[in-house]
Structure 1
């Protein structure tokens, strides 16, 4: 049987308001009354309803997180950090899978607001005008994670994709490579696609490395199949490449798989560097050299910024997190 706050009040012979004050630590009762009510709560096994308590203290102690894709290892790492911060702050997380679908995203935003979540983390996707306007009208605090908005003043947490991609290409250059290709993400993607492409190109031009249309293969996304097809296309149009920058670890591991199928030895014949430092990177064969995004820390930081807004009412500064090269065994010195 599920007991209510009314049952607790009746058995303890106090008012519902007194039980509510005790549950929310608001004072106005004796220690004797508190002991009696807590004893009844324990006897009945009463579980306070989070939504009902939220009506009293204006907090439901839940936050909503929107991801475009849940199968990605990147999402898992970001969510680890979010859940750590939420747990540390006595809150729970509702995760929504938008599939980058505008109609589905709007339905989830409406659902989160109806459920009276305390705030929203919007991750890895472009913040469209309709999303921003809808959330702003409700005064719901929001943080962007692994994305940013040039149009709207919403705090964000991410790495500088341009600088990180530059660092990846420079690592290959520092290893003596001069014939360097890239398997990129979507060239229309202003969040992760274009900045990584431009960072790669800038590194090559700064170091006088030949750069033409044959150096880059453009993919639809950042997935394992994109990496498989990307390597095949790149080798076809740029057969002399000795090193490849893949714009995500999933793509890089796809490239390793395609290289194995094609009889291309990594790193003896071609070096490969990825981007993200997912857990999968150290499990690949060979273990993948990559550019680390501190994903779990990024998720934790975004959630902490959200809780800071809830506590202080002040908008925090956006955070650019530091990337770094993680050296493993998929890149070697070039002899050419």
Structure 2
């Protein structure tokens, strides 16, 4: 059976309160007493309970991170950045997989409250008012990563999706393309769907390129299969398309796969630019030109922002992170 704080106090012949003060760096004991307690802790192999210590110093040195999905390199990159920031300041990370399920999200928030986490990072989906209310009752700081709220006062770290989509579309235009289509992903997604559609439309209008309902295929998600079916639909309604802006790299890679099945070469017959710069983008055939989001950097910034709020109680300004176009071999100049 694991040793308890009572066992340590008994063997060191001191009070439980003295052991607690030593564990939490509080004053009220001699150096001789401290060394004696530390020696007993080592002899017994005592592991202080983080939650129990948190009851004393009101800090557990843990942060909760809620992800809608745990699949894909962007998630591991975000988490890598968050964990780097946390570990540098002696904090640990608890990861929760919500699956974008409201009931599951509430349960995880309640669990994080029971664990007495010091702060929360909410990633890549809409922060609903009921989530915000639960977090506010926990009285811990909150940072949004790769999402934002226009109605709730929460700092965020993200790329400007509208502007990044605009840049991707203009890249195709500057390469000489005029018959340009988009496979958009979920148009009802106000975080990544609608802003990227709006950016595509605005770039087309600003460059005086004809645009109608046939230019955009709106799929239900941002995955590989949406790219496969989306390309067929786009080419059926706009056969003269020479270039495509895909709202995610997975969509783009799915579109490349279908193009090959249809006997079309990329980029000789049709050019494709993606969005995200996930690891697979450089491994596709041909390697995918795409919009780069610096996911590791974004995660680290969000982590540092949260940790700073935990230490100062000051709400920082939100940060828009710069995107870049990564040129590879999937877009042809005409």
Partner of 1:210: 210
Asked whether 1:12 is paired with 2:19, we answer no
Partner of 1:129: 129
Q: Give the TM-score, by structure 1 length.
A: 0.96
What SS class does the counterpart of residue 148 from structure 2 fall into? coil
Partner of 2:250: 250
What SS class does the counterpart of residue 185 from structure 1 fall into? strand
Rounded to whole Å, the distance in 1 between the matches of 2:54 and 2:178 is 60
Partner of 2:151: 151
- Return the offset for 1:286: 1.2
Asked whether 1:181 is paired with 2:181, we answer yes
Partner of 2:195: 195
- Return the offset for 1:220: 0.6
- Return the offset for 1:189: 1.4
**Mapped contact 1:77–1:278 kept (Cα < 8 A):** no
Asked whether 1:104 is paired with 2:104, we answer yes
Rounded to whole Å, the distance in 2 between the matches of 1:32 and 1:133 is 48
What SS class does the counterpart of residue 105 from structure 1 fall into? helix
Q: In structure 2, list runs of 5 or more residues that go unmatched.
A: none
How many residues are aligned here?
A: 334
- Return the offset for 1:163: 0.4
Partner of 1:95: 95
Partner of 2:259: 259
Rounded to whole Å, the distance in 2 between the matches of 1:226 and 1:59 is 45
Rounded to whole Å, the distance in 2 between the matches of 1:76 and 1:228 is 25
- Return the offset for 1:79: 1.2
Asked whether 1:160 is paired with 2:126, we answer no
Rounded to whole Å, the distance in 2 between the matches of 1:146 and 1:31 is 48
- CA-to-aligned-CA distance 1:122-173 (integer Å, 9 cap, x gap): 1111111211222223322111111111111111111110000000001111
Q: Give the TM-score, by structure 2 length.
A: 0.97
- CA-to-aligned-CA distance 1:93-144 (integer Å, 9 cap, x gap): 1111111111111111111112211111111111112112222233221111
Rounded to whole Å, the distance in 2 between the matches of 1:13 and 1:254 is 68
What SS class does the counterpart of residue 220 from structure 2 fall into? coil
What SS class does the counterpart of residue 191 from structure 1 fall into? coil
Alignment of structure 1 residues 1-336 onto 2, 5 Å: 1-334=1-334
- Return the offset for 1:319: 0.7
